């Protein structure tokens, strides 16, 4: 279950229930979207204030990490399937995909959105330059 809260008021705003374990969360810097990566290989993108929801299906195994670009226009997900996927926010059009040699355990995006870094199960870090 993912719950959204108004911390000033101490009130729950939304609740989203899932049938799969949640392994990763990413919050869009624009404040509009939340991405949820799950054990069943799905990524769901939820609107922060509306019932809008998008289901994305490119991973072949559990999703291990998520990160939004600072601009909020795209995000990346990584997984046990050795994949790094880049998606358009919010509807999930695939921007690019890269296969690494081991499970991709973590990721981050530079604050200028020019680089993506991943950490994988074979003890390697990979840096990608984002050109667009």
- Mean pLDDT on 24-29: 96
Going by pLDDT thresholds of 50, 70 and 90, the confidence category of residue 5 is confident
Q: What is the pTM of this model?
A: 0.92
pLDDT tens-digit profile of 47-85?
Answer: 988 888 999 999 999 999 999 999 999 999 999 999 999
Hey, what domains does the chain have and what are their CATH numbers? Answer: 2-129 (2.130.10.10)
pLDDT above 90 for 132? no
Q: Which residues of 3-29 are buried (b: 16+ CB within 10 A; e: fewer)?
A: eeeeeeeeeeeeeeeeeeeebbebebe
pLDDT tens-digit profile of 76-114?
Answer: 999 999 999 999 999 999 999 999 999 999 999 999 999
């Amino acid at each position: 279950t993912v719950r959204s809260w108004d911390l000033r008021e101490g009130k729950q705003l939304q609740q989203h229930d899932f049938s799969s374990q949640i392994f990763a969360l990413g919050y869009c810097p624009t404040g509009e979207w939340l991405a949820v990566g799950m054990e069943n290989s799905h990524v769901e993108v939820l609107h922060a204030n509306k019932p809008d929801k998008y289901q994305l299906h490119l991973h072949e195994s559990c999703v291990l990490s998520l990160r939004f670009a600072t601009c909020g226009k795209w995000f990346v997900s990584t997984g046990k399937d050795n994949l790094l996927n880049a998606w358009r926010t919010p509807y999930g059009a695939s921007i690019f995909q890269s296969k690494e040699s081991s499970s991709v355990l973590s990721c981050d995006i530079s604050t200028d959105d020019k680089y993506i870094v991943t950490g994988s199960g074979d003890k390697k870090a990979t840096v990608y330059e984002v050109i667009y």
